[in-house]
Structure 1
């Protein structure tokens, strides 16, 4: 990718040291900020000097601003691919203002939407005895643990989603929820909303349908952690830094 041009091949992002080569794009669109986004056929050979990386792998290779731009481009490509026709009259949609698509027949405008997920860092104990509940998903890289996360359900508040996910995945209850921040998460079109919380009661028990393992960790025995660009890592780093200041 470059400042003004992004190329995807399937769900892989093209990276190279210089300017990206010209391509025969299957899909081409321009982000509202003027960045050209192209997608080439998966059967096309990757040009010499170009590396094709999945967005997750690129997470550790790009700075936060560049990765966020690539994620936004990917989300828009995927959204447009799944919204070609009007839901009211089945007419093919056309580009509208900004990120929207418009129906030339009935005038309906359609806008991209995010799938909201919550992530929560749960702590217990005080001072040097402080511990955090971290879990391991089978989808993580070997040895990596992270805060518990899950999607919100229809009609559910963010706080209700936190309590439900914690109970379902860890078998415990929490209280003292505090909003930490949010991060766009393009897998495929998510918005991750982060909270911290304190353990209220219950014994940690990983749900085998969701997790491989869950444990309490102190700052001196932390496992492998998520990428430094993820909000899960930001929460953990902030919690450890606060503990070290106290």
Structure 2
């Protein structure tokens, strides 16, 4: 892949569809990687871009960049003030409640700045996620102690932006994301990989809604599911209602 699909672009910001498996920017934690979304977008636009939020390497979906430093600071401030709504979809193990809230503080996890020698804060940070169950399925897979295995499609809205928040919160309620090698269940991950030919983490950022950093006019950037994610949805005969 030499270019990322553009979802939105104006004189101040650009949004692209980041595929699963691609880092946002260079990190000492994945020193062997040579491809980064930030560099790819810079090459596409032939101008400097400024990261304002992050998606995990395994997560696909809407990735936003600023096109100048002032806009970057404004967008970063909007994220910090929780004025940007973030919508995600995930496939999880088990059947969560129809709707719920996860209010569970998370210990600070090391990020790039800390890995490069910055101070390491201690203590837990508040973290809050809302979720809705959209669809369920029961498959004839005897993976755990039951003859069948249950899975669900969930819509997620993180109110805070902690590192790996959605992945850690879903593990906390015992419904880990399929394909998550760190917080998930290896046997379920392998079953999906074998059945559907998909070994990625089934988590995607499907929309960001925010006030434009210059005009103040609210707008939404939407992103379709990646083909590999959509293939799983189709195979399970799930339908996602249009927003």
TM class by shorter chain equals under 0.3
Give the TM-score normalised by structure 1: 0.25
Say which one has the larger Rg: 1
Of structures 1 and 2, the one with the larger relative CO (CA 8 A, separation 6+) is 2
TM score, norm. by length of structure 2: 0.25
